[in-house]
Amino acid sequence: MTAAIVVGAVCGLGLFLLGFGLIPQRASLARRIASFDADAARAPLGAAGPAGEASDSGLTRRLGAGLVSFCNEQGWEFPSLRASLRLTGRSLENYLATKVLLAILGLLLAPALIVLLSLARVRVPFVVPVWVGVAFAAVFFFLPDLELKNKVDKMRRDFRHAIGAFLDLVAMNLSGGRGVPEALMAASEIGSGWAFRRIREALANARITGQTPWQALGALGDEVRVDELRDLAGALALVNDGAKIRESLASRAASLRRRELTDLQGQAGERSQSMLVAQMLLCAAFLIFLMYPAVYALIGL
């Protein structure tokens, strides 16, 4: 009875979603404007992160385009998610399609589990593999979120490290008698890596569009969600006349290095604690291995 109810509910939900997808929905004016703004503000693929993503398959591309179109029609903008994807150089279409395909893969594990159990001549209720498939689908659906978060956190740490070196280079160029815009551009040309490339591109675009360098750095800080770059842009906007800029940049670079050193020490402490716990577990397992024969002999007696 329970299996019939579950199967009926799943079939009913599938028919409802099929009918909802086939019936054309009339999008409101606000949703159309939000969709247009989202498409216009989308960054070119591969321009944000250290490297662009590989070419998608036809199924992934079509599925992702459909999902993005549906989200735009509903007015779902996902600003934080879009910023993270721009930082990694990944498209929203590929990301959403990957989440959906992984969830479908996890859901299909339920029939595979039923087949394996039937081959092993193990009889279990039909509801158990269904719930296992639902659980796998939920876990697989959120795996790209965890991967994206770890990658974005690492890239932002690397960007903060690059900002510290960039500030030192700017201070040295200012010591040589250059102005603030020239020192910023010269420092960005000295460094290598994707973070310096982003800073260099932002300064070059600012020169073309007529913006000030600190405005370009502030916009880049808003795009990659790095507070240190936005603070640097604000400080340069306040002291762009050259008064005590070098000392301010040197102190900011020293502050960034101290913060980075503190974070590294905290990570080292966490790893040391993890190694200590692993060693204690190994010692406990070894003691159990040594004591098991004696305990078994005593219980047998």
Whether the Cβ atoms of residue 189 and residue 200 lie closer than 8 Å to each other: yes
**Is residue 300 in some structural domain?**
no
**Is residue 142 in some structural domain?**
no
Q: What tens-digit pLDDT sequence spans the chain (301 residues)?
A: 666 676 567 667 666 665 655 555 555 555 556 555 555 554 443 444 554 454 556 777 888 888 888 888 777 888 888 888 888 888 888 899 899 888 888 888 777 777 777 777 777 777 777 788 888 888 989 999 999 999 998 888 888 888 888 888 888 888 777 788 888 888 888 878 888 889 999 999 988 888 888 888 888 888 888 888 888 888 777 765 555 677 777 777 787 778 778 877 887 887 888 888 888 889 999 888 888 888 888 876 5
What confidence score (pLDDT) does residue 142 get?
Answer: 92
Phi and psi at residue 73, in whole multiples of 5°? -65, -35
Give the chain's domain count: 1
How far, in Å, CA of 64 to CA of 95, rounded? Answer: 8
What confidence score (pLDDT) does residue 145 get?
Answer: 92
Whether the Cβ atoms of residue 48 and residue 88 lie closer than 8 Å to each other: yes
pLDDT tens-place string over residues 21-58: 555 555 555 555 655 555 555 444 344 455 445 455 67
Beta-carbon neighbour count of residue 224 at 10 Å?
21
Beta-carbon neighbour count of residue 72 at 10 Å?
20
How far, in Å, CA of 299 to CA of 156, rounded? Answer: 58
**Is residue 194 in some structural domain?**
yes
**Is residue 170 in some structural domain?**
yes
**Is residue 203 in some structural domain?**
yes
**Is residue 135 in some structural domain?**
no
pLDDT > 90: percent of the chain: 4
**Is residue 100 in some structural domain?**
no
**Is residue 200 in some structural domain?**
yes
| Domain carrying residue 224 | 159-258
Whether the Cβ atoms of residue 5 and residue 130 lie closer than 8 Å to each other: no
Opening angle at CA 197, ends 186 and 221, nearest 5:
95
Distance from chain centroid for Cα 200? 23
What confidence score (pLDDT) does residue 290 get?
Answer: 86
Residue 143: which residues within 8 A CB-CB, separation 6 or more?
102
The region, left, alpha or beta by phi > 0 then psi within -120 to 50, assigned to residue 123 is beta
Q: What pTM did the predictor assign?
A: 0.65
Distance from chain centroid for Cα 79? 13
What confidence score (pLDDT) does residue 148 get?
Answer: 92
What confidence score (pLDDT) does residue 47 get?
Answer: 45
